[in-house]
Amino acid sequence: MVAAEVGMTELQHRPTALLVMEERRRDDVYPEAVLKEIGTLVDLREPLTRERLAEDPAALEGVEILLSGWGAPVLDSVLLGHAADLRAVLVAAGSVRPLTTPEFWARELPIVSAAAANAVPVAEFTLAQVLLGLKQVHRISREIRERKAYPPDPRVAGAYRSRVGLLGLGEIGALVASHLRAFDVEALASDPVVDAARAAELGVRLVGLDELFATCPVVSLHAPLLPETKGLVNGELVAKMGIGATLINTARGAVVDEPSVIPVLSGRPDLTAILDVTWPEPPEPDSPLYTLPNVVLTPHLAGALGAERARMGELVAAELRRFVLGEPLQHAVAPDRAHLRA
């Protein structure tokens, strides 16, 4: 729900704000109700796209608050040179990496990410696939089609004291872990930047990658794409997975080393790979990912789609309210943590 309107007398000053993002998804992210809420807090200029702003960077002059989402402008020295009055940036998207630069961080401006809102549908999708994976729904369905017969007594892990592995405990991984606490499963995780105390708070036990893949009937990937995570999930790790195991990737396609993983999936028809992301994306026309029966491809269905995107705009509106009223922001991104967001 969008917060109640602020009375005009509560605001000593109505900052000037500008919304810059792609047109295609703008109405989803900032629907009429959210824009109405924002309009009670700031003087909102006509929205621009990143391309239009590049043509006329002077449009940032006098802007105190920059609102954005997908298609955000890169805040380099050129744009910042026209943004002397800028006081805050609020982004209705998960990562702020695409728009931040060293010049931006040098300004020490607060920047808000809607990662918490974006995490909700991804975690929901993941939870659904985890539960299906524990029942080996995709594998058994394939075998029924191939054999034209039902198995007499399917042997599956199920959601009773089974292990679920999470690679990464960022915003999404942590939310998935939270969801899993409602089930009688043991959650394991691998994340080099999370300590045991934080893992315990999330109800998970930290293990190494080998144990994660070798002992969990379902492994879900939630690691950001960093130099050290590129190609991290390789064929050797996937080959360690048990009979009928499921691999889920809703993170970044390049976290998986597809050239080494594809042969394993080809030789292990018992495994299932749920790939909501690939690299490249979409796969090349001749990619085996299209034809392998144990690969399920989805085009970012886990992410916010349609009306789900309004959650991010609502988060931005709530943060904007806090900012103009001088209250602490709840979703500001710390400079030393920005690179860890996908």
Region 107-112: mean pLDDT is 97
pLDDT at 4 over 50: no
Query: Reduced to 3 states, what is the DSSP secondary structure of residue 161?
Result: strand
pLDDT band at residue 11 using 50, 70 and 90 as cut-offs? low
Active-site residue identified among 23, 146, 228, 281: 281
pLDDT at 336: 83
Active-site residue identified among 25, 26, 222, 252: 252
pLDDT at 5: 46
Active-site residue identified among 24, 181, 300, 337: 300
pLDDT at 1 over 50: no
Neighbours of 115 (CB within 10 A): 21
pLDDT at 220: 98
pLDDT at 10 over 80: no
Q: What is the per-residue pLDDT across 64-107, written as a single tens digit (0 to 9) for each?
A: 999 999 999 999 999 999 999 999 999 999 889 999 999 999 99
Q: Taking a C-beta distance cutoff of 8 angstroms, is the pair 47, 68 a contact?
A: no
pTM: 0.92
pLDDT at 116: 96
pLDDT band at residue 337 using 50, 70 and 90 as cut-offs? confident
In SS3 terms, 79-98 reads as HHCCCCCCCEEEECCCCCCC
pLDDT at 8 over 70: no
pLDDT band at residue 9 using 50, 70 and 90 as cut-offs? very low
Half-sphere exposure of residue 200: CA atoms within 13 angstroms, side-chain side: 3
Q: Is 26 a catalytic residue?
A: no
Measured CA to CA in angstroms, residue 9 lies from 13, 40, 135 at distances of: 10, 11, 57
Region 279-289: mean pLDDT is 97
Using the 8-state DSSP alphabet, how is residue 299 labeled? Answer: S
Q: Is 5 a catalytic residue?
A: no
pLDDT at 22 over 50: yes
Q: Calculate the average pLDDT of the chain.
A: 95
pLDDT at 338: 77
In the numeric block, which tokens belong to residue 46?
């006509």
pLDDT at 13: 83
pLDDT at 72: 98
pLDDT at 6 over 60: no
Region 221-225: mean pLDDT is 96
pLDDT at 341 over 70: no
Kindly state the percentage of the chain with pLDDT values over 90. 93
Alpha helices in 135-168 (DSSP H): 137-147
d(CA 152, CA 169): 38
Q: What is the per-residue pLDDT across 158-179, written as a single tens digit (0 to 9) for each?
A: 999 999 999 999 999 999 999 9
pLDDT band at residue 23 using 50, 70 and 90 as cut-offs? very high
Q: Taking a C-beta distance cutoff of 8 angstroms, is the pair 14, 42 a contact?
A: yes
Q: For residue 131, give the nearest of 274, 239, 234, 266 by alpha carbon.
A: 274
Residue 328, preceding bond cis, omega within 30 degrees? no
In the numeric block, which tokens belong to residue 48?
């621009």
Q: Taking a C-beta distance cutoff of 8 angstroms, is the pair 341, 115 a contact?
A: yes
Query: Reduced to 3 states, what is the DSSP secondary structure of residue 205?
Result: strand
Q: What is the per-residue pLDDT across 140-159, written as a single tens digit (0 to 9) for each?
A: 999 999 999 999 999 999 99
Q: Taking a C-beta distance cutoff of 8 angstroms, is the pair 202, 169 a contact?
A: yes
pLDDT at 7 over 70: no
Query: Reduced to 3 states, what is the DSSP secondary structure of residue 188?
Result: strand
C-alpha angle 171-32-309 in degrees, rounded to nearest 5: 25
pLDDT at 2 over 50: no
Neighbours of 101 (CB within 10 A): 14
pLDDT at 131 over 80: yes
Q: For residue 200, give the nearest of 161, 226, 174 by alpha carbon.
A: 174
pLDDT band at residue 322 using 50, 70 and 90 as cut-offs? very high
Residue owning tokens 């609102």: 67
Q: Is 50 a catalytic residue?
A: no
Alpha helices in the chain (DSSP H): 26-29, 32-39, 50-55, 77-80, 102-106, 115-134, 137-147, 171-180, 196-202, 209-215, 235-239, 258-267, 310-324
Q: For residue 255, give the nearest of 278, 288, 282 by alpha carbon.
A: 278
d(CA 331, CA 335): 13
